[in-house]
Copies of this chain bind each other. A is one copy, B any other.
Amino acid sequence: MADQIRTGALTLSEFLPYRLSVLSNTVSSAIAETYRSKFGLNIWQWRVMAVLGEAPGLTARDVAGRTAMDKVAVSRAVAALEARGLLQREVHPEDGRAAHLTLTAQGKKIYTEIVPLALAHEEALLAHLTPSELSSLERLLDKLAGGASPNRKLW
């Protein structure tokens, strides 16, 4: 494919930020629909479960740092998950403000059920890429993320 020529005109369908946004929304909403219909979880609840599945005992602040969520979103997701009995808080013994979060047995069960579904979505997305294309993609995403200034206040 020839390189695109970028002139002073803007064509929305060729505008990279637009294309990224559409792609990301398409992917995310397909996956979100799986979480929602099978487990009644929204994306944020799932993200919290995902990092707690990897790293039990994180605080809400840690979770925010690892999920690109702001603290209010984390607080809401944690409250909902706790109300459903999917996670547990344990107040930090040395800091009464913070609480360590862990998945309950029921939370772990859902976690282990979702992981393969999430990975299957990822595989479907990458189905038509060769291994070397996948490798390029990862490198390019890293580079782009470097260029995109993360200006949102997350905490």
Contact = CB atoms under 8 A, between A and B. Distances in A.
Interface of A: 1-4, 6, 8-13, 15-31, 33, 47, 50-51, 53-54, 66-68, 115-116, 118-119, 121-122, 124-129, 131-141, 143-152
Contact of A133 (B29, B31, B143, B149): B143
Contact of A140 (B4, B10, B129, B147): B129
Contacts of A17: 24, 27-28, 31, 118, 121-122, 125
A118 B11 CA distance: 11
Nearest to A68: B22
A146 to B, nearest CB: 6
A116 B6 CA distance: 12
A66 B18 CA distance: 11
A121 B51 CA distance: 32
Given A12-B54, A16-B122, A136-B140, 7 more contacts: A3-B131, A16-B125, A17-B122, A20-B23, A23-B145, A24-B24, A33-B151
Nearest to A124: B147
Contacts of A13: 66
A115 B147 contact: no
Contacts of A147: 124-128
Contacts of A66: 12-13
A11 B137 CA distance: 17
B135 A1 contact: yes
